[in-house]
Amino acid sequence: AQTVTQSQPEMSVQEAETVTLSCTYDTSESDYYLFWYKQPPSRQMILVIRQEAYKQQNATENRFSVNFQKAAKSFSLKISDSQLGDAAMYFCAYVSWNNNAGNMLTFGGGTRLMVKP
Amino acid sequence: EAGVAQSPRYKIIEKRQSVAFWCNPISGHATLYWYQQILGQGPKLLIQFQNNGVVDDSQLPKDRFSAERLKGVDSTLKIQPAKLEDSAVYLCASSLVLRQGPMDGYTFGSGTRLTVV
């Protein structure tokens, strides 16, 4: 079974600075996708960024970028120029794209990010 | 486009009572998921539907939980009888099923927060 681990229950960053959230996963599949989701107090999961495992290039979305290390099974999220609105729970998630398996997301335990003004 | 709609937003019940949650996915999304998110944890899949058929319900406590997706659109999740440990947020999500992968990601509703007292 696939597992996703986020080793940092809480992280804190000063506004305008950079913070990196860690994620590791375990899988024997070769074709999969990785995601970072943000969950504010409203509870709705909001997609931050995604990475296809077959792509070597790290994904970027404005202030958000990932460091995808496939061999190490590591997928960290870097938030640059942190803003007060970035404060939320962040979840790393994995999905195997195997036609014989359900394409459901497996989530890590989450990291609470606090942004200090 | 409209998002994933869920109701009710909050529910408080006594143990051994029954409760039902409703989800309306994004139009055209064939796949629908129900996740249980206990406070301080990542979401855990309960059941996945493809149209009106069940793809995976291996994590659904079938002695008390049931779910259906009539006509392949709306879905309801029921708990009967509820236990204290069922207190959690119940998230519904939907996605397109594409051979090339979940390029459009997964869209989540705002969830129902259930408190069992």
Q: pLDDT at residue A101 above 90? A: no
In which band, very low, low, confident or very high, does the pLDDT at A36 lie, cut at 50, 70 and 90? Answer: very high
Establish if B116 belongs to a structural domain.
no
Instruction: List, for residues B15-30, the tens digit of each pLDDT value.
Output: 999 999 999 999 888 8
- List beta partners, residue B65: B79
B36, B90 Cβ separation under 8 angstroms: yes
Establish if B115 belongs to a structural domain.
no
Read off the pLDDT of each residue in A37-60 and give the average, rounded to a whole number: 92
What separation, in Å, do the N-terminal and C-terminal C-alpha atoms of chain B show? 37
Which pLDDT value is given to residue B52? 84
What share of chain A in percent tops pLDDT 70? 95
> Among partner residues A42, A103, A107, which is closest to B102 by beta-carbon distance?
A103
- Pairwise CA distance, residues A69 & B18, whole Å: 46
In which band, very low, low, confident or very high, does the pLDDT at B100 lie, cut at 50, 70 and 90? Answer: low
Establish if B89 belongs to a structural domain.
yes
| Domain harbouring B59, CATH code | 2.60.40.10
Name every residue in A having a CB less than 8 A away from some CB of B: 4, 6, 33, 35, 42-47, 50, 52, 91, 93, 95, 97, 99, 102-110
Q: Which domains does chain A have, with CATH numbers?
A: 3-116 (2.60.40.10)
Establish if B78 belongs to a structural domain.
yes
Domain that holds residue B105: 5-110
> Among partner residues B43, B48, B101, which is closest to A52 by beta-carbon distance?
B101
In which band, very low, low, confident or very high, does the pLDDT at A103 lie, cut at 50, 70 and 90? Answer: confident
> How many domains does one find in chain B?
1
Q: pLDDT at residue B92 above 90? A: yes
Cβ neighbours of residue B111 closer than 8 Å, sequence gap 6 or more: A43, A44, B6, B9, B37, B89, B90, B91, B92
